[in-house]
A = this chain, B = another copy of it.
């Protein structure tokens, strides 16, 4: 381990020190508190897509709308399944006619906090992301014009689009589908995880083991890439995984250093969004943390450290949004 000596000391006696409330430990805890950021209630809202109740409500309908797929049975919620951490808990996404895609389905939860979208970061924001899976041949396989035609058949959708985009001459448009979906997704956040409550001053919110894990996460350098409120730097990294791979970020940039590189995923709700990595080849948090230690940090975590970090990752599961299924026309 390449831990800073002070940090290592803290990791060893952290819980005890916490209980004792020693001044030195307080100082160190101040340091950890400064390393991390709790999740704000809402992600940044883009200037050209203000967050309104009308857009969120419409976006929710569209999110559950299987008519946006060629088959008529696949909606965004099929793979971003609210019952399964807003992902699918499969190694790689399964879409139109049972085709299995290249990559693991990322959770929608807190996706508004991500600096960019998709495993290869090819879209800067949720507006850019929203129309991708609808049209992808191995996902919803839908022609966008046909999707708009299907929606425009229903008076209820005409009303909802007009209410959400009152100044548009043609409210039902691909752009507005994206705006509405992005707006709904910006409301799917998981505040008040034990980690957030701890950062906001509730010292009992995490277990002692989770606090040790948080320290180890910082001390061992995990936080270098998993930083910020969503615990991702939004940057691209390359490492070896079992199972299939693809060119990753290289497809977007053509840069050699981006070959096989994938964006750091958020760790928020990581305990409920298994399996892991871009090809979903790793089933458990233990194996995932172990692999990251070896490949990204060049070190083998001892069992205690590994268990502590995994315990900490469980503290990143927040309150899941409660969503009533909308009645569609």
Q: Which residues does A use to contact B, with CB under 8 Å?
A: 64-66, 71-73, 75, 78-79, 81-84, 88-90, 94, 96-98, 272, 320, 322-328
Q: Could you tell me the distance in whole angstroms from the C-beta of A252 to the nearest C-beta in chain B?
A: 27
Indicate which residue in B65, B79, B322 contacts A73 across the interface (CB closer than 8 Å): B79
Q: Could you tell me the distance in whole angstroms from the C-beta of A259 to the nearest C-beta in chain B?
A: 30
Q: Give 20 A-B pairs besides A66-B81, A71-B94, A98-B98 with Cβ atoms closer than 8 angstroms.
A: A64-B83, A65-B83, A72-B94, A73-B79, A73-B88, A73-B90, A75-B83, A78-B78, A82-B325, A83-B325, A83-B327, A84-B328, A96-B98, A97-B97, A97-B98, A320-B327, A322-B324, A323-B325, A324-B324, A325-B325
Bound-state Cα–Cα, A82 to B77, Å: 12
In the complex, what residues of B have CB within 8 A of residue A328's CB?
Answer: 83-84
Nearest residue (CB) in B for A70 is B98
Given known pairs A66-B84, A84-B66, A98-B71, the reply for A324 and B326 (CB within 8 Å) is: no
Q: Could you tell me the distance in whole angstroms from the C-beta of A249 to the nearest C-beta in chain B?
A: 27
Identify whether the interface residues of A are mostly helix, strand, loop, or mixed. Answer: loop
Nearest residue (CB) in B for A75 is B83
Bound-state Cα–Cα, A66 to B87, Å: 12
Nearest residue (CB) in B for A320 is B327
In the complex, what residues of B have CB within 8 A of residue A90's CB?
Answer: 72-73
- The complex is assembled from copies of this chain, and their number is 2
In the complex, what residues of B have CB within 8 A of residue A325's CB?
Answer: 82-83, 323, 325
| Contact B88 A72, beta carbon cutoff 8 Å | yes
Indicate which residue in B73, B88, B97 contacts A66 across the interface (CB closer than 8 Å): B88
In the complex, what residues of B have CB within 8 A of residue A89's CB?
Answer: 72
| Contact B324 A83, beta carbon cutoff 8 Å | no
20 CB < 8 A contacts A-B: A65-B83, A66-B83, A66-B84, A71-B98, A72-B88, A72-B94, A73-B88, A73-B90, A73-B94, A75-B83, A82-B325, A83-B325, A84-B328, A96-B98, A97-B98, A98-B98, A322-B324, A323-B325, A324-B324, A325-B325
Q: Could you tell me the distance in whole angstroms from the C-beta of A87 to the nearest C-beta in chain B?
A: 11
Q: Could you tell me the distance in whole angstroms from the C-beta of A307 to the nearest C-beta in chain B?
A: 18
Nearest residue (CB) in B for A64 is B83
Bound-state Cα–Cα, A81 to B66, Å: 10
Most interface-central of A75, A81, A83, A90 (chain B CB within 10 A): A83
Q: Could you tell me the distance in whole angstroms from the C-beta of A137 to the nearest C-beta in chain B?
A: 12
Bound-state Cα–Cα, A94 to B72, Å: 8
Nearest residue (CB) in B for A272 is B327
In the complex, what residues of B have CB within 8 A of residue A94's CB?
Answer: 71-73
Bound-state Cα–Cα, A71 to B74, Å: 13
Bound-state Cα–Cα, A50 to B111, Å: 43
Bound-state Cα–Cα, A187 to B328, Å: 21
